[in-house]
Amino acid sequence: MRLAVYGGSFNPPHPAHVRACRLACEALGPDKLLVIPAATPPHKPLPEGSPDAMERLALTRTAFRAFPEAEVSDMELRREGRSYSSDTVRELRAAYPDAEIVLIMGTDMLLSFETWHEWRGILSEASLAVLPRNDGDIGAIEREAVRLREACGAKIYVLDETPMPMSSSDMRELLASRRGAGELDGEVYARIIRKRDYGAKPQLDWLRERAYSFLKPTRVPHVAGCEHEAVKLAERWGADPGDAAEAAILHDITKKLSMPEQLQLAEKYGIVFDALERGNIKLTHAITGAALSRDLFGVTDAVYGAIRWHTTGRPDMTLLEKIIYLADYVEPTRDFPGVERLRSLCYEDLDAAMALGLEMSLEELEAAGTVPHGDSLEALRWYGKDN
């Protein structure tokens, strides 16, 4: 029996991991293939923002879900202490006494192999199968393989196939800079964004595609216009343009839902509407939209608040909350008496624009015979005074 083992931190797991495993599987023809995420990698600490071991296990299982030959194992997660390969090999040898155990690794792991814990013991119990990480690595692999064979009697397979040029550190950098949706497996990426692991921020085109699917087609131009205006206002007033875009993209995500559907979401997320909110989707959608955005896309507190307060406003709003409130009001598709005056004021004095916008909104409600929400009245009192 041949047992192939592919270990690592998988932080996060990415397509190059899967490709390397496939290439090794094709070359070695193992009877069993184990993919084993480390609980506590021994060589270097996990970077800040990394998920815990169980979450990395879940991500790895998701990444390898379309590779049925690979069994993702939690055996290192069940052990205490550092995840030494020597301990894993001993555990596998006890379970499979007659198997050839083959550890799959890349160039860097082979070249640093003699720094591994009990590396000679590993070579006495297991073979190595080495894939080049980059073009041109084969020469270095072959030289090191010859040296270890002569020095230790190591059994080493050199697999002359180059995996994808991708690393977990590259992926972490992409995720933190609103990229990576096209590089990672779709379900892995969505889960990372939902959990906001690695300081991840959603790639905006990816977020638009998903958020727009919740909207009526007629609402998309408004949401796109709100995003455009929010980014401009963020740049004018020193807010994060990415956060402004994210909040604007999501601000109307539940707008098309009926009141019974709004109430179902409220029950799911533990939201208690007041009497006025229960009769007005314009009020409820801001509250359920913030909750759904957090559930699906892991929005930060800042973005959550901007979505939550974009309809009524509130006293002493954050900069981002004011930006989204006003961008929703004056985005380019809006056309009503006084919009140009309000639009200009947004770039001159944000608090004065809030006071004018709230005043205009309340006048509109009064003309329609609609009772204003208390949050809006309090907000107008706040922004109508000299702050």
State residue 386's pLDDT score: 47
State residue 385's pLDDT score: 64
Please indicate, yes or no, whether the overall pTM of this predicted structure exceeds 0.75: yes
Q: How many helices (H) and strands (E) does the chain have?
A: 18, 6
**Separation of alpha carbons 338 and 330, rounded Å:** 10
**Separation of alpha carbons 172 and 86, rounded Å:** 28
- Per-residue pLDDT tens over the stretch 248-267: 999 999 999 999 999 999 99
Collect contacts of 232-238 with beta carbons under 8 A, ≥24 apart: 233/323, 233/326, 233/327, 233/346, 233/347, 233/350, 234/320, 234/323, 236/347, 237/319, 237/323, 237/350, 238/319
Q: Where are the beta strands (DSSP E) in the chain?
A: 2-8, 32-37, 70-72, 100-106, 126-131, 156-158
State residue 166's pLDDT score: 85
State residue 387's pLDDT score: 44
- Per-residue pLDDT tens over the stretch 59-114: 999 999 999 999 999 999 999 888 999 999 999 999 999 999 999 999 999 999 99
- Name residues of the chain where pLDDT drops below 50: 386-387
- Per-residue pLDDT tens over the stretch 372-386: 999 999 999 999 864
Between vectors from CA 49 to CA 175 and to CA 167, what angle results, nearest 5°?
50
C-alpha distance across the termini of the chain, in Å = 77
Contacts of 348 (CB under 8 A, 6+ apart): none
Which tokens is 75 given? Answer: 């055996």
For 7, which DSSP code?
E
Name the amino acid, one letter, at 195.
K
State residue 279's pLDDT score: 87
With CA atoms as reference, report the closest residue to 93 among 121, 57, 130. 121
- Per-residue pLDDT tens over the stretch 156-174: 999 998 777 888 999 999 9
Q: Calculate the dihedral angle through the C-alpha atoms of 52, 192, 327, 353, rounding to the nearest 10 degrees.
A: 10
- The three-state (H, E, C) secondary structure of 32-79, written as one string: EEEEEECCCCCCCCCCCCCCCHHHHHHHHHHHCCCCCCEEECCCCCCC
Going from the N-terminus, what domains does the chain have, and what CATH number goes with each? Answer: 2-176 (3.40.50.620), 202-383 (1.10.3210.10)
